[in-house]
Amino acid sequence: MDLIHIAMESRSKEYDNTLLNWIGLDIPANSDVEASLLNVLVNFSEEAVFKLTASDGDIIFNNLGFYEQLLDGYDPVDVKGTVEPKGSLRILRSALNEEMFPFISYSDRNGVSLKNGAEDFLSQYATRVNAYLSLSNSKHLKATSSDSTSLITLAPGVRGRNILLYGVPGSGKSYTIKTQYCDDYTHMEKVVFHPDFTNSDFVGQILPTIKEDDTITYEFVAGPFTRILKKAFDNPQETFFLVIEEINRGNAPAIFGEVFQLLDRDDTGRSTYAITNRMIADVVFNDPDEPVYLPSNLWVLATMNTADQNVFTLDTAFQRRWDMKMIENDVSKATHAKTEILDTGVSWETFCKQINSQILSNNSVTLSSEDKRLGAYFITEDILQPDTPDKKTLFAEKVIKYLWDDAFKFNRENIFSDRFQSLEEVIK
């Protein structure tokens, strides 16, 4: 409000008339004053973050995201989504419809587009916005384009979160991370938890090192957590990801150890509580006495198969520190959904839907039958249509074996003929 007051002070009467005009009174507005006031309001909106729901998931972005998208390709940017806008996105849509942004146009049909002759102005303005967001500790992520309009997967101003993606095997959890979050290994550390994975593997450990004079010293060797933490602090204007595949195949609370405390985050995306770890602090800050915490530009992503057996359970205290996101098992969206299985005349989509329906109907017999379903990406297209004779048994050895040994282990008669007494006979 102080900034608006400063802007209005020299022409307060004209500003008063403009504001009265905006609320519907029959008082003429001064066009220069109105343009100046709109510019101030647009400036205020640059830190806002918007969430758009599209057919393939939620998309988080801010103004700078679509500014840069327009400057990169000049294609319209879609901010409509597939459901009725809510919260800040609804306000943004209203502002666009009212033409509050002096350099862009908007329509429900064509999305956000660059006004004629506004390229140079927007380029300079976007540079200033980027500098401002950098100084205010907001973050930038690259945008991705579709064939016609563009959707921004993540954008500046987005605060780090802990997200746990779960679903049946093959539902597309890792694919979701790759397409919606990050596919740049220079900004990511990826690990796979397993029963033998330890806190030392995750955080780092002291190992012997032979010096040039053949003496042996012991030094702390950083693990994936410490390495990505250092990258995040060294590059505060970029966004980084720690990706944990199969988080429940290892003893996650034991692997995280004291780092578990850092998963609580405040509204800025930074750890609510810090820990003292001299070895991590020495690597990250070059000061062993510095408190260790997760910065707002570091995301932690994890995947979990709900059908896994003989794995570690995640207790409530651990799970509550994550945003849980179920990956829908939609076979129809798989790239090979319509591919025929060998020469059967049956598509992968049809097969999956029928088998999964049968699995769900066995709920009274099979515990957690929902988790036993075939995932859309349980197998790849080359298994459905093998290019060499020796690969023709891969479908049976992967899919049929799973159905025999796992999904229908206690009621095989529901889908297998009585004449089959063993898996060997089925595969033959």
Q: Are residues 235 and 145 in the same domain?
A: no
pLDDT at 85 over 90: no
Kindly calculate the radius of gyration of the chain based on its CA atoms and give it in whole angstroms.
27
The reported pLDDT for the residue numbered 9 is 66
What is the band of 148 on the pLDDT scale with cuts at 50, 70, 90?
Answer: very low
DSSP per residue, 42-101 = HHHGGG--EEEEETTEEEEE-HHHHHHHHHHH---B----SS---HHHHHHHHHHHTT-S
Q: Which residue has the higher pLDDT, 255 or 109?
A: 255
Does residue 2 sit within a domain? no
Q: Are 294 and 228 in contact (CB under 8 A)?
A: no
Q: Strand 57-61 relative to strand 150-151: parallel, antiparallel, unpaired? A: unpaired
pLDDT per position as a tens digit, 210-264: 778 778 888 899 999 999 999 999 988 888 999 999 999 999 999 999 999 999 9
Does residue 26 sit within a domain? no
Q: Are residues 166 and 221 in the same domain?
A: yes
Q: Are residues 322 and 336 in the same domain?
A: no
Q: What percent of the chain has pLDDT over 70?
A: 82
Residue type at 315 in one-letter notation:
D
The reported pLDDT for the residue numbered 134 is 66
Q: Are 16 and 28 in contact (CB under 8 A)?
A: no
- Is the dihedral angle over the CA atoms 250, 402, 319, 301 positive or is it negative? positive
Q: Sort residue 249 into left (φ over 0), alpha (ψ -120 to 50) or beta.
A: alpha
Q: Which of 78-92, 269-283, 377-391 has the lowest mean pLDDT?
A: 78-92
Number of other residues whose CB lies within 10 A of the CB of residue 186 = 8
Q: Are residues 77 and 197 in the same domain?
A: no
Structural domain for 343, as ranges: 331-427
Does residue 97 sit within a domain? yes
Q: Are residues 392 and 335 in the same domain?
A: yes
Q: Give strand ranges (E) for 168-318.
A: 188-192, 204-210, 216-222, 240-245, 298-305
Does residue 32 sit within a domain? no
Q: Are 303 and 247 in contact (CB under 8 A)?
A: yes
The reported pLDDT for the residue numbered 364 is 55
What is the band of 133 on the pLDDT scale with cuts at 50, 70, 90?
Answer: confident
pTM of the model: 0.61
* Mean pLDDT in residue range 57-76: 71
Q: Are residues 320 and 337 in the same domain?
A: no
Number of domains in the chain: 3
Strands across the sheet with 240-245, in order?
188-192, 240-245, 298-305, 162-167, 323-326
Residue 251: HSE in the Cβ half-sphere, 13 Å Cα cutoff: 10
Q: What percent of the chain has pLDDT over 90?
A: 26
